[in-house]
Structure 1
């Protein structure tokens, strides 16, 4: 124990030192002006592509804007733009600027998860906790069983996982990827389809929240134990748990005056907003520094933010910039690392399709069976399975972390991006086919509101 503590302290004292390999000196390197020129060009291209593809997704596929933005990120990467016009793609997104884009992407996804945290409602856990537990358990257990079955085969294929990864860590990572549910998108679908007060809506939302919580805990465990030694693992697990404990116990008391200030003023002043952003940066920094990830810091802080006018003001003042400007940078950064051309053999194509099929079977199938055992009828159980099968942005976050930390390679990353997009796109239309249409015809559900995009 003393050795572990000593190694943990040694790692902690080295947090702000350089950790990456030295870059080779180039004959001509980018000047600050070069970075600025490319940054603003990239932002313009990213925002334009995301709005256009998002609009097309809404009009043609009846998908939410965020699904179109996920696809737009892949369009801007080597899988399409780089395939058709490689020189243009390289000119807009030169490799020297990827680190700059990465930082913007992390800010965007961190702020987004912070806003997701502010929308988190503990009441969902209480309302249907007992019946949702079986669906949640099935939605977690089956993916990890499937992961345990397919991971040994995936490890035999060069380039999918890091050479140094253990089978246990690879299995846990794959299980977390398959078990994830797109909790923010699930909440949006439930609200827009008029399911918020239904048994199906409450059960799905509760089960989805449980599943995501378990998946993120597993990811944190993998990050803490992968390739860093006992000191790194000790700092990650110990530091992460201490910060979560501090935020959840002391955070509400420390942040309560901010809520009272906003209620008193009738709005969020720039000073109050600065304090909130400061708290977000500190939380994101600490979770990133100990070796977990900044998004955990953003999310856990959002969970304990005072509800009421403060959260409403944050949604007005922070969410639009995070969603319209910053989050698309994350989709594009993911797209720049998505190489569908690497799935270039019958074997790899079969693996990609197998991962997709196994993911759908594990999540949709298991949740359907569990829902039937809790007494739900066939159509309701099918609807629950269809909703739980969507992975969306949450999947992109977890696999980006896996790629960044060296757990998976670009080929498996691309396969999992494909799985994330397909399961997200199929969720809403299939829900309407297996449940929504019949429920509306019978009067169980009202008509879908005009303009709803689920």
Structure 2
């Protein structure tokens, strides 16, 4: 078979297998389609399919096919992060800055500290820290991975729970939006390279100047042209950030964060996010699964994933209990907010991919973080639904 035919075989697997599992298994309550796609990527990776059927794995996922899939995945995730940046709305957070600041600060700080403590445990055993990482980068990276909230997936889950447009849902979006900015700011700190610090400062300075020009241009052009200019801006920011050593994903987020959502038709923006998730993000999930490794042993990886899951979930719930006491929330309200904010899924996986790209973590650590993200997301709806039902009954 030619490389193009094998590439299409890979795509056939990527789109058909998760859909069949999700639809025939009726997993939506526990595992939404996006979670099934992530799990399928892990199963198709070298640690599972590659270990059971090495020749088949090498045939389907050979170097040219993997390279082509990686290119599609790179653009897919840049689009996804760009949209997430555009949808940030900090005006409501500023209008309720005391409540939002306390809640978002605790929601980020408590699991970050607990995650960093878990990272200290991992450092006691070789094989978890990446070859180019300093200990503080590893600790901060793992801590932040445990503190991440996946804003786009949070929106999807709240739509499913029918609370997105309710006052509670809008409050949760405020908290998650503030934390989203911190996530990318901390990632930029982790990726700072002293050998390239001049280049990185130069990138930020030029980016600031270009942003002023871009914002004026976007206001001046017809609405239809803004989509084309936005994509050009996205590619340019991703290229410049990667050249500066900050990773193209940081550039993608910045490209979206400096744009106003009101410049775009909201229905079209929602459709674009939906279509990116439908058409190209499954390729990213497969590419992510192809990066998993179990060299430290299955039990060690599962144990690390369980530890990280415990501190990430426990940290969010503890943080929201503290915030609830401070701000006078009912206990069930704090519980719902905590469970929703601990949702990891896509943003944590993207964050972990960047850490792996920069050799801050190893493939084994990446696998543990990936399993943690899947477990976190699978827990959200089953844990929140009974509390919301009890709340509705009064």
Matched, 1:73 2:27: no
- Candidates 360, 368, 371, aligned match of 1:418: 371
Matched, 1:254 2:217: yes
Change (3 A) 1:401 1:63: same
- Candidates 353, 359, 363, aligned match of 1:400: 353
Q: Which residue of 2 aligns with 1:6?
A: none
- Candidates 326, 341, 349, aligned match of 2:280: 326
State how many pairs are aligned: 393
Q: Which moved more, 1:52-61 or 1:369-378?
A: 52-61
Change (3 A) 1:432 1:332: same
Contact 1:57 1:65 in 2 (8 A): no
- Candidates 384, 388, 393, aligned match of 1:436: 388
Task: Identify unmatched segments of 5+ residues in structure 2.
Answer: none
Q: How does 1:53-452 map to 2 (within 5 A)?
A: 53-55=21-23, 59=27, 61-225=29-193, 230-236=194-200, 238-246=201-209, 248-258=211-221, 261-262=222-223, 268=224, 273-303=227-257, 304-305=259-260, 307=262, 310=265, 312-313=267-268, 315-316=270-271, 318-319=272-273, 321-339=275-293, 341-344=294-297, 346-433=299-386, 435-442=387-394
Greater C-alpha radius of gyration: 1
Superposed displacement of residue 205, structure 1: 1.6
Change (3 A) 1:62 1:422: closer
Change (3 A) 1:128 1:71: farther
Contact 1:391 1:420 in 2 (8 A): yes
Contact 2:317 2:338 in 1 (8 A): yes
Superposed displacement of residue 345, structure 1: 6.0
Contact 1:118 1:311 in 2 (8 A): no
1:389-431 Cα offsets, whole Å, 9 max, x none, are 1111001101111111111111111110010000011011111
Superposed displacement of residue 53, structure 1: 3.7
Contact 1:392 1:420 in 2 (8 A): yes
CA distance in 2, matches of 1:347, 1:283: 39
Q: What's the secondary structure of 1:195's corresponding residue?
A: coil
User: What is the RMSD of the two structures over their aligned residues, measured on CA atoms?
Assistant: 2.6
TM-score, normalised by the number of residues in structure 2: 0.90
Change (3 A) 1:312 1:437: closer
Change (3 A) 1:55 1:244: farther
